[in-house]
Amino acid sequence: MICLSKRIRVVVVDDQYLARGFFEGLVRMSERYELAASLSGAEQAVAFCDEHGADLVLMDVMMKHGLDGLTCARSIKASHPDVKIILTTSTAETEWIEKARRAGIDSFWFKEYSEVSLTEVMDRTMNGEKVYPDSAPNPEFGFAWKADLTDREQEVLRELTRNYTNEEIALRLHISANTVRTHIQHMLEKTGYKNRIELAVNAKAMGLVVHEDDRTGNRSPVETME
């Protein structure tokens, strides 16, 4: 659909129906913005921008099917550098922020944790600002908060959600298996979870940490852990 008005043409991209509906409603209520398209797949956004153009793309990082939002945002920026892009996520994963910066993505917004409204981020982005979070999300995790975990513990937790053994985690992080066990024990003490399975399942369910394979589609379900 090509819009002929002078309002800012927005493409909404999210595979979650409720989130997509929220974005649509936000755009429709604004006098400054106009909904050019509402799409459930990131690859559709690339095709739409190639065929119809857009002023602003609101796109979730994670997609259940097809290419992820970050990959497709890079593609849109490469072909249409003037198109503004805001990447969004409902997880608490922070690794994508730096990846988005390096890819030239204009702004990044946490759906669940941002203290800045999406409308403000949209306005500032269209005014030429690059709007990124000032601090990392800090959700509750058992009896603790994410910030209570050290950087190394979070690295171990990320690998733990992929069903790796202590020895495999040790090899990937270049530390000893005993050090991995110590980090896991410390996380259990902080959170109150009973075992490594509870630790990993809850971290996965909450989106506390998300492995790169989850974003790109090579998912490794934690439910297979024994």
| pLDDT, tens digit (0-9, with 9 covering 90-100), for 128-175 | 999 999 888 888 999 999 999 999 999 999 999 888 999 999 999 999
Q: What is the pLDDT of residues 9-55, one digit of tens each?
A: 999 999 999 999 999 999 999 999 999 999 999 999 999 999 999 99
The DSSP bridge pattern shows strands 140-141 and 144-145 to be antiparallel
Rounded Cα distance, 59 and 101, in Å: 15
The domain locations on the chain are 8-126, 140-224
SS3 of residue 59 by DSSP: strand
8-126 CATH: 3.40.50.2300
Q: Which two tokens stand for residue 42?
A: 């990131």
Q: In terms of Cα–Cα distance, which of 167, 150, 163, 176 is closest to 213?
A: 163
What is the percent of the chain where pLDDT is above 90? 75
Q: What CA–CA distance (Å, rounded) separates 100 from 215?
A: 13
In the predicted model, is pLDDT for residue 101 greater than 70? yes
More confident residue, 180 or 93: 180
The Cα–Cα gap between 91 and 110 comes to: 7
Prediction pTM value: 0.80
The pLDDT of residue 4 is above 80: no
* Sign of torsion over alpha carbons 111, 123, 215, 161: negative
CATH of domain 140-224: 1.10.10.10
Phi-psi map region of 207: left, alpha, beta (phi>0 left; psi -120 to 50 alpha): left
pLDDT given for residue 3 in this prediction: 43
Show the DSSP H helices in 103-176 as ranges. 118-126, 151-160, 166-173
On the question of pLDDT at 211 being above 90, the answer is no
Share of the chain above pLDDT 70, in %: 91
